[in-house]
Structure 1
Amino acid sequence: MSDVRLSATSYVVLGMIALRGPSTPYELKRAVGHSVGYFWHFPHAQLYSEPDRLAGLGLLELAVEATGRRRKTYSLTDAGRTALKDWLSSPTHEHFQMRDIAELKLFFNEAGDPEDDIPALARDQIKQHEERIAVYEGMVERFGDDPHAQPRMITLELGLEMEHAALRFWSALADGDLDRLRAARSARRNRG
Protein backbone atom coordinates (compact mmCIF):
# COMPACT_ATOMS: atom_id res chain seq x y z
CA MET A 1 0.00 0.00 0.00
CA SER A 2 2.96 2.33 0.63
CA ASP A 3 3.79 2.61 -3.08
CA VAL A 4 0.22 3.57 -3.99
CA ARG A 5 -0.33 7.31 -4.39
CA LEU A 6 -3.63 8.71 -3.25
CA SER A 7 -4.70 12.14 -4.43
CA ALA A 8 -6.78 14.78 -2.70
CA THR A 9 -9.73 13.41 -4.68
CA SER A 10 -9.02 9.94 -3.23
CA TYR A 11 -9.26 11.37 0.26
CA VAL A 12 -12.42 13.33 -0.58
CA VAL A 13 -14.03 10.04 -1.69
CA LEU A 14 -12.80 8.14 1.38
CA GLY A 15 -13.80 10.97 3.71
CA MET A 16 -17.27 11.38 2.22
CA ILE A 17 -17.98 7.67 2.47
CA ALA A 18 -16.68 7.71 6.06
CA LEU A 19 -19.12 10.54 6.86
CA ARG A 20 -22.12 9.36 4.84
CA GLY A 21 -21.78 5.60 4.85
CA PRO A 22 -22.22 3.48 1.71
CA SER A 23 -22.67 5.76 -1.30
CA THR A 24 -23.09 5.72 -5.06
CA PRO A 25 -20.95 8.04 -7.18
CA TYR A 26 -24.01 10.21 -7.77
CA GLU A 27 -24.59 10.50 -4.01
CA LEU A 28 -20.92 11.41 -3.58
CA LYS A 29 -21.22 14.13 -6.23
CA ARG A 30 -24.27 15.62 -4.50
CA ALA A 31 -22.69 15.44 -1.04
CA VAL A 32 -19.48 17.08 -2.26
CA GLY A 33 -21.50 19.77 -4.03
CA HIS A 34 -23.19 20.66 -0.73
CA SER A 35 -20.05 20.59 1.41
CA VAL A 36 -16.37 20.53 0.42
CA GLY A 37 -17.27 21.57 -3.12
CA TYR A 38 -17.66 25.14 -1.82
CA PHE A 39 -13.92 25.40 -1.23
CA TRP A 40 -12.26 22.43 -2.99
CA HIS A 41 -12.92 22.41 -6.72
CA PHE A 42 -12.15 19.47 -8.99
CA PRO A 43 -13.81 17.79 -11.95
CA HIS A 44 -16.84 15.89 -10.65
CA ALA A 45 -16.19 13.18 -13.23
CA GLN A 46 -13.42 12.04 -10.88
CA LEU A 47 -16.11 11.12 -8.35
CA TYR A 48 -17.33 8.54 -10.84
CA SER A 49 -13.92 7.01 -11.66
CA GLU A 50 -12.01 7.31 -8.38
CA PRO A 51 -14.23 4.93 -6.34
CA ASP A 52 -13.49 2.08 -8.78
CA ARG A 53 -9.76 2.73 -8.45
CA LEU A 54 -10.02 2.79 -4.66
CA ALA A 55 -12.03 -0.44 -4.71
CA GLY A 56 -9.28 -2.01 -6.83
CA LEU A 57 -6.78 -0.99 -4.14
CA GLY A 58 -8.91 -2.60 -1.41
CA LEU A 59 -9.80 0.73 0.22
CA LEU A 60 -13.47 0.53 -0.74
CA GLU A 61 -15.81 -2.40 -1.12
CA LEU A 62 -18.04 -2.43 -4.19
CA ALA A 63 -21.61 -3.75 -4.29
CA VAL A 64 -23.51 -3.74 -7.60
CA GLU A 65 -27.29 -4.07 -7.83
CA ALA A 66 -28.20 -7.39 -9.42
CA THR A 67 -31.07 -5.94 -11.47
CA GLY A 68 -32.41 -2.62 -12.65
CA ARG A 69 -29.90 0.17 -13.11
CA ARG A 70 -27.11 -1.94 -11.58
CA ARG A 71 -25.99 0.99 -9.46
CA LYS A 72 -22.63 0.73 -7.77
CA THR A 73 -22.49 1.41 -4.05
CA TYR A 74 -19.15 1.80 -2.27
CA SER A 75 -18.37 1.18 1.40
CA LEU A 76 -15.22 1.91 3.34
CA THR A 77 -13.03 -1.09 4.17
CA ASP A 78 -10.82 -1.31 7.24
CA ALA A 79 -7.84 -0.53 4.98
CA GLY A 80 -9.67 2.52 3.62
CA ARG A 81 -10.50 3.73 7.12
CA THR A 82 -6.83 3.29 8.11
CA ALA A 83 -5.61 5.17 5.00
CA LEU A 84 -8.00 8.05 5.77
CA LYS A 85 -7.01 8.13 9.45
CA ASP A 86 -3.29 8.12 8.54
CA TRP A 87 -3.82 10.99 6.09
CA LEU A 88 -5.84 13.02 8.60
CA SER A 89 -3.17 12.62 11.28
CA SER A 90 -0.18 13.38 9.02
CA PRO A 91 1.28 16.89 8.79
CA THR A 92 0.28 19.08 5.86
CA HIS A 93 3.37 20.55 4.22
CA GLU A 94 1.72 22.07 1.17
CA HIS A 95 1.10 25.78 1.34
CA PHE A 96 -2.44 27.12 1.04
CA GLN A 97 -3.50 27.46 -2.63
CA MET A 98 -5.91 30.18 -3.60
CA ARG A 99 -6.39 29.46 -7.33
CA ASP A 100 -8.43 32.60 -7.94
CA ILE A 101 -9.01 33.52 -11.60
CA ALA A 102 -9.71 37.14 -10.61
CA GLU A 103 -6.28 37.32 -8.99
CA LEU A 104 -4.70 36.11 -12.24
CA LYS A 105 -6.65 38.71 -14.19
CA LEU A 106 -5.50 41.40 -11.78
CA PHE A 107 -1.88 40.27 -12.12
CA PHE A 108 -1.93 40.31 -15.92
CA ASN A 109 -4.07 43.41 -16.28
CA GLU A 110 -1.13 45.56 -17.36
CA ALA A 111 -1.68 44.18 -20.85
CA GLY A 112 -5.22 45.59 -20.88
CA ASP A 113 -6.69 48.95 -19.97
CA PRO A 114 -6.44 49.17 -16.15
CA GLU A 115 -8.75 52.19 -15.94
CA ASP A 116 -11.60 50.12 -17.36
CA ASP A 117 -10.74 46.54 -16.44
CA ILE A 118 -9.70 46.76 -12.78
CA PRO A 119 -12.76 48.64 -11.42
CA ALA A 120 -15.10 46.30 -13.34
CA LEU A 121 -13.22 43.26 -12.06
CA ALA A 122 -13.36 44.63 -8.49
CA ARG A 123 -17.11 45.30 -8.67
CA ASP A 124 -17.75 41.80 -9.99
CA GLN A 125 -15.63 40.27 -7.24
CA ILE A 126 -17.39 42.31 -4.56
CA LYS A 127 -20.73 40.95 -5.77
CA GLN A 128 -19.44 37.36 -5.87
CA HIS A 129 -17.89 37.52 -2.39
CA GLU A 130 -21.01 39.12 -0.92
CA GLU A 131 -23.11 36.32 -2.44
CA ARG A 132 -20.81 33.60 -1.07
CA ILE A 133 -20.82 35.24 2.38
CA ALA A 134 -24.62 35.15 2.31
CA VAL A 135 -24.56 31.44 1.40
CA TYR A 136 -22.09 30.64 4.18
CA GLU A 137 -24.01 32.69 6.75
CA GLY A 138 -27.20 30.88 5.72
CA MET A 139 -25.41 27.59 6.34
CA VAL A 140 -24.33 28.78 9.79
CA GLU A 141 -27.95 29.69 10.59
CA ARG A 142 -29.25 26.32 9.34
CA PHE A 143 -26.60 24.04 10.83
CA GLY A 144 -25.02 26.03 13.67
CA ASP A 145 -26.96 24.21 16.40
CA ASP A 146 -26.67 20.73 14.85
CA PRO A 147 -24.17 18.75 16.99
CA HIS A 148 -23.40 16.44 14.03
CA ALA A 149 -22.36 19.43 11.91
CA GLN A 150 -20.20 21.10 14.58
CA PRO A 151 -16.83 19.63 13.53
CA ARG A 152 -17.34 20.86 9.95
CA MET A 153 -18.59 24.28 11.07
CA ILE A 154 -14.97 25.19 11.82
CA THR A 155 -14.21 24.86 8.11
CA LEU A 156 -17.17 27.10 7.37
CA GLU A 157 -15.77 29.73 9.75
CA LEU A 158 -12.47 29.63 7.85
CA GLY A 159 -14.39 30.07 4.60
CA LEU A 160 -16.20 33.10 6.02
CA GLU A 161 -12.93 34.66 7.17
CA MET A 162 -11.40 34.19 3.73
CA GLU A 163 -14.46 35.62 1.98
CA HIS A 164 -14.48 38.67 4.24
CA ALA A 165 -10.74 39.22 3.64
CA ALA A 166 -11.27 39.01 -0.12
CA LEU A 167 -14.25 41.37 0.14
CA ARG A 168 -12.13 43.90 2.06
CA PHE A 169 -9.41 43.70 -0.60
CA TRP A 170 -11.71 44.08 -3.62
CA SER A 171 -13.72 46.85 -1.90
CA ALA A 172 -10.54 48.80 -1.19
CA LEU A 173 -9.40 48.28 -4.78
CA ALA A 174 -12.78 49.44 -6.11
CA ASP A 175 -12.60 52.52 -3.87
CA GLY A 176 -9.03 53.21 -4.98
CA ASP A 177 -8.00 52.95 -1.31
CA LEU A 178 -5.30 50.28 -1.10
CA ASP A 179 -3.61 52.45 1.55
CA ARG A 180 -6.43 51.36 3.91
CA LEU A 181 -5.40 47.71 3.44
CA ARG A 182 -1.73 48.51 3.87
CA ALA A 183 -2.47 50.41 7.11
CA ALA A 184 -4.51 47.50 8.47
CA ARG A 185 -1.69 45.06 7.61
CA SER A 186 0.84 47.33 9.32
CA ALA A 187 -1.38 47.54 12.42
CA ARG A 188 -1.66 43.73 12.55
CA ARG A 189 2.11 43.40 12.23
CA ASN A 190 2.67 45.90 15.06
CA ARG A 191 0.22 44.02 17.36
CA GLY A 192 1.87 40.65 16.67
Structure 2
Amino acid sequence: MPQKRILPYIILGLLQERPLTGKEITAQFQNEIGEFWKASHSQIYPELMRMQHDNWLKITENDSDGRKKHYQITVTGEQVLSNWIKEPVTELPLNRDLFSLKLFFVTKSDSKVIEKLFNDQIALISAQL
Protein backbone atom coordinates (compact mmCIF):
# COMPACT_ATOMS: atom_id res chain seq x y z
CA MET A 1 0.00 0.00 0.00
CA PRO A 2 1.50 3.37 -0.95
CA GLN A 3 2.39 5.71 1.85
CA LYS A 4 0.16 8.75 2.31
CA ARG A 5 1.74 11.91 0.94
CA ILE A 6 2.51 14.32 3.78
CA LEU A 7 4.09 17.13 1.76
CA PRO A 8 0.80 18.79 0.75
CA TYR A 9 -0.27 19.09 4.38
CA ILE A 10 3.06 20.67 5.33
CA ILE A 11 2.68 23.18 2.52
CA LEU A 12 -0.89 23.98 3.61
CA GLY A 13 0.36 24.48 7.16
CA LEU A 14 2.99 26.92 5.94
CA LEU A 15 0.43 28.83 3.87
CA GLN A 16 -2.07 29.24 6.70
CA GLU A 17 0.00 32.12 8.10
CA ARG A 18 0.37 34.06 4.84
CA PRO A 19 0.79 33.59 1.08
CA LEU A 20 4.29 32.48 0.10
CA THR A 21 6.26 32.14 -3.12
CA GLY A 22 7.61 28.76 -4.15
CA LYS A 23 11.07 29.98 -3.23
CA GLU A 24 9.89 30.94 0.27
CA ILE A 25 8.22 27.55 0.73
CA THR A 26 11.41 25.77 -0.36
CA ALA A 27 13.43 27.91 2.07
CA GLN A 28 11.20 26.73 4.96
CA PHE A 29 12.42 23.18 4.31
CA GLN A 30 16.00 24.37 4.67
CA ASN A 31 15.20 26.12 7.95
CA GLU A 32 12.41 25.30 10.38
CA ILE A 33 10.67 22.35 8.72
CA GLY A 34 13.98 20.80 7.68
CA GLU A 35 14.63 19.73 11.26
CA PHE A 36 11.96 17.06 10.98
CA TRP A 37 10.91 16.80 7.32
CA LYS A 38 12.90 17.01 4.10
CA ALA A 39 11.61 18.09 0.69
CA SER A 40 13.43 19.34 -2.37
CA HIS A 41 12.58 21.96 -4.96
CA SER A 42 11.78 19.16 -7.43
CA GLN A 43 9.19 17.71 -5.01
CA ILE A 44 7.60 20.97 -3.93
CA TYR A 45 6.74 22.54 -7.28
CA PRO A 46 4.85 19.54 -8.74
CA GLU A 47 2.97 19.27 -5.44
CA LEU A 48 2.01 22.96 -5.65
CA MET A 49 0.56 22.33 -9.11
CA ARG A 50 -1.46 19.31 -7.87
CA MET A 51 -2.72 21.31 -4.92
CA GLN A 52 -3.81 24.15 -7.19
CA HIS A 53 -5.61 21.64 -9.43
CA ASP A 54 -7.37 20.19 -6.35
CA ASN A 55 -8.39 23.73 -5.28
CA TRP A 56 -6.39 23.51 -2.05
CA LEU A 57 -4.53 26.68 -2.95
CA LYS A 58 -4.64 29.49 -5.47
CA ILE A 59 -1.99 31.57 -7.14
CA THR A 60 -1.84 35.33 -6.88
CA GLU A 61 0.69 37.51 -8.65
CA ASN A 62 2.01 40.25 -6.39
CA ASP A 63 4.95 41.46 -8.42
CA SER A 64 4.59 44.56 -10.61
CA ASP A 65 5.53 42.58 -13.73
CA GLY A 66 3.42 39.53 -12.72
CA ARG A 67 6.39 37.17 -12.53
CA LYS A 68 6.36 36.48 -8.80
CA LYS A 69 3.67 33.93 -7.92
CA HIS A 70 2.37 33.70 -4.39
CA TYR A 71 0.51 30.60 -3.23
CA GLN A 72 -2.46 31.16 -0.95
CA ILE A 73 -4.50 28.55 0.91
CA THR A 74 -8.18 28.31 -0.09
CA VAL A 75 -11.18 27.52 2.11
CA THR A 76 -11.03 23.96 0.77
CA GLY A 77 -7.33 23.80 1.66
CA GLU A 78 -8.05 25.06 5.17
CA GLN A 79 -10.63 22.30 5.62
CA VAL A 80 -8.25 19.64 4.27
CA LEU A 81 -5.53 20.83 6.67
CA SER A 82 -7.93 20.88 9.62
CA ASN A 83 -9.12 17.33 8.85
CA TRP A 84 -5.53 16.07 8.54
CA ILE A 85 -4.49 17.63 11.85
CA LYS A 86 -7.40 15.86 13.55
CA GLU A 87 -6.32 12.42 12.25
CA PRO A 88 -4.56 10.39 14.95
CA VAL A 89 -0.86 9.64 14.55
CA THR A 90 -0.51 5.86 14.41
CA GLU A 91 3.18 5.27 13.65
CA LEU A 92 6.48 6.10 15.28
CA PRO A 93 8.62 8.51 13.27
CA LEU A 94 11.02 6.16 11.49
CA ASN A 95 12.84 7.50 8.44
CA ARG A 96 14.17 4.16 7.29
CA ASP A 97 12.87 0.88 8.58
CA LEU A 98 16.18 -0.91 9.11
CA PHE A 99 14.50 -3.38 11.45
CA SER A 100 12.29 -4.81 8.70
CA LEU A 101 15.12 -4.73 6.21
CA LYS A 102 17.39 -6.74 8.52
CA LEU A 103 14.57 -9.13 9.36
CA PHE A 104 13.97 -9.64 5.64
CA PHE A 105 17.54 -10.85 5.24
CA VAL A 106 17.43 -13.38 8.10
CA THR A 107 17.27 -16.70 6.24
CA LYS A 108 16.79 -19.17 9.10
CA SER A 109 13.57 -18.93 11.07
CA ASP A 110 15.18 -20.31 14.23
CA SER A 111 18.07 -17.87 14.12
CA LYS A 112 18.99 -16.29 17.47
CA VAL A 113 19.35 -12.97 15.68
CA ILE A 114 15.57 -12.73 15.24
CA GLU A 115 15.06 -12.60 19.01
CA LYS A 116 17.81 -9.99 19.35
CA LEU A 117 16.35 -7.86 16.55
CA PHE A 118 12.93 -7.90 18.20
CA ASN A 119 14.31 -7.17 21.67
CA ASP A 120 16.38 -4.27 20.32
CA GLN A 121 13.34 -2.89 18.46
CA ILE A 122 11.17 -3.16 21.58
CA ALA A 123 13.84 -1.33 23.60
CA LEU A 124 14.09 1.41 20.97
CA ILE A 125 10.34 1.95 20.89
CA SER A 126 10.07 1.85 24.69
CA ALA A 127 12.77 4.51 24.99
CA GLN A 128 10.75 6.81 22.74
CA LEU A 129 7.55 6.55 24.79
Gaps of 5+ in 2: 103-119
Gaps of 5+ in 1: 1-5, 108-181
Structure 1 residue 23 corresponds to structure 2 residue 20: yes
Q: How does 1:43-122 map to 2 (within 5 A)?
A: 43-64=40-61, 68=65, 70-99=67-96
Verify the 8 A CA contact 1:22 1:73 in the aligned structure 2. Answer: yes
**Number of aligned pairs?**
102
Verify the 8 A CA contact 1:26 1:48 in the aligned structure 2. Answer: no
Give the secondary structure class of the aligned counterpart of 1:70: coil
1:12 counterpart residue number: 10
Within 2, Cα distance between the matches of 1:45 and 1:69?
23
1:118 counterpart residue number: none
- Identity value in percent: 26
| Greater radius of gyration (CA) | 1
Q: Answer 1 or 2: which has greater strand percent.
A: 2
TM-score normalised over the length of structure 1: 0.45
Higher relative contact order (CA 8 A, sep 6+): 2
Within 2, Cα distance between the matches of 1:18 and 1:67?
24
Q: CA 1:44–1:97 in 2, change beyond 3 Å: closer, same or farther?
A: farther
Amino acid at match of 2:83: D
**Deviation at residue 31 of structure 1 after TM alignment:** 1.9
TM-score normalised over the length of structure 2: 0.65
**Deviation at residue 69 of structure 1 after TM alignment:** 6.1
Within 2, Cα distance between the matches of 1:95 and 1:44?
26
**Deviation at residue 7 of structure 1 after TM alignment:** 1.6
Amino acid at match of 2:12: L
Q: Answer 1 or 2: which has greater helix percent.
A: 1
Within 2, Cα distance between the matches of 1:59 and 1:13?
10
Within 2, Cα distance between the matches of 1:74 and 1:43?
17
Amino acid at match of 2:23: Y
Amino acid at match of 1:80: G
